[in-house]
Amino acid sequence: MAPYSVLVTGANRGIGLALVKEFLKNKDIGIVIATTRNPEKAKDLYGINDDRLRIVRLDLNDDDSIAEAVSELQAILGDKGLNVLVNNAAVLISSETKQKITRETLISQFQPNVFGTVILSQALLPLLEKASSLHQNEDLSINRAAILNISSGAGSIGQSTFDCPYGGSRLFRLFSYRASKASLNMITRTMGIDLVNESILVCCFCPGPVDTEMHPDKEHKDSLLKPEESASVLVNSFFKLNSSHNGNFYDRNLESIPF
């Protein structure tokens, strides 16, 4: 079994692009939708030769863009709805070490990582509910309907200790990013509770230390995972999800991470 449709946000590069390619390896998936703010610049996406791929313009900072994208998605998906929403799009707004965090920095960080993700998920609920309704009496899974939020171990309050690699003044520039991911984790738990009656599975995942433009640790580039390495393991874990995983936080290997 495989979901009929999958949507990945922020799919023009990095983990998002790798997830799109990984999902397309499964021939049983009918449609893979990749969203990006600037489709005209998404050369790697357009270089994928697969008729199942749809590329949709989406800016999570713009409500009008979200509304237009949802209308386009409704036309693409029709009565089958949307099985899997992967909220991958995010930004890392960094500042220099020990520089004061401004209100502008916080808003810029939370806009796509939190606010836009919530608004998009809410707007796509009718399509997710439609897909779920077509699989009556089945357990929660990505084959039925799921929202999968790509988070980060940097957002784990339980792992935020004095020896935490993300803490301390040395990486104080990650403060707003960590806060946004902690917020996304709470949103995941709340969505999991709120949507269980609609049989929509909700989880969040840390993809691990991946070599992307966003990763702050450029000094140890050789030790980072390639996006395709992380995506391969993530998608494998996605297919293992069931009701016991609903509302929880995992690493790419489906090992539990404390909120």
Express each pLDDT in 81-120 by its tens digit.
999 999 999 998 865 545 677 888 889 999 999 999 999 9
pTM: 0.92
Answer yes or no: is pLDDT of 58 > 50.
Answer: yes
pLDDT confidence of residue 214: 56
Taking only Cα atoms into account, the Rg of the chain, rounded to an integer number of angstroms, comes to 17
pLDDT confidence of residue 158: 87
Distance from C-alpha of 126 to C-alpha of 129, rounded to nearest angstrom = 5
**Shortest CA distance to 203 belongs to which of 190, 217, 216?**
190
Q: What is the dihedral of CA 1, 137, 189, 148, to 10 degrees?
A: 20
Residue 35 near residue 7 (C-beta atoms within 8 A): yes
pLDDT confidence of residue 99: 64
What are the beta bridge partners of residue 210? 225
pLDDT confidence of residue 26: 98
Show me where the domains of the chain are located. Answer: 5-251
| Residue 7's pLDDT band (cuts 50, 70, 90) | very high
Answer yes or no: is pLDDT of 152 > 60.
Answer: yes
pLDDT confidence of residue 220: 53
What's the mean pLDDT in 133-143?
A: 96
Answer yes or no: is pLDDT of 162 > 80.
Answer: no
| Residue 224's pLDDT band (cuts 50, 70, 90) | confident
CATH 3.40.50.720 for domain 5-251: yes
What are the beta bridge partners of residue 201? 146
pLDDT confidence of residue 218: 53
Answer yes or no: is pLDDT of 144 > 70.
Answer: yes
